Amino acid sequence: MQAPMPFALISCLCFSGALVWMYSQGRNSKPWLGQGMRFGLAVWAIASLPLYLTNYVIEPMAGSFRR
């Protein structure tokens, strides 16, 4: 169970980093298309990436049981 634990740390760091980045950016005078792309990337980093990494950490893998 210890092998995938770095992915749990990466998941938490990604989530917190995305929230801090999103908060610090706010709305600025840059072009709207770039803002939309950055916002979409941030939402992906907050919603999907940590979920998949956490599922990878906690899901049992076939054939990984030892006696």
Rg of the Cα atoms in the chain: 16
**Per-residue model confidence as pLDDT tens digits over 20-58:** 777 777 766 677 788 778 878 888 878 887 788 878 877
Alpha-carbon distance of 34 to 38, in angstroms, equals: 6
Predicted TM-score (pTM) of the model is 0.52
Predicted pLDDT at 40 = 81
Contact 17, 44 (CB under 8 A): no
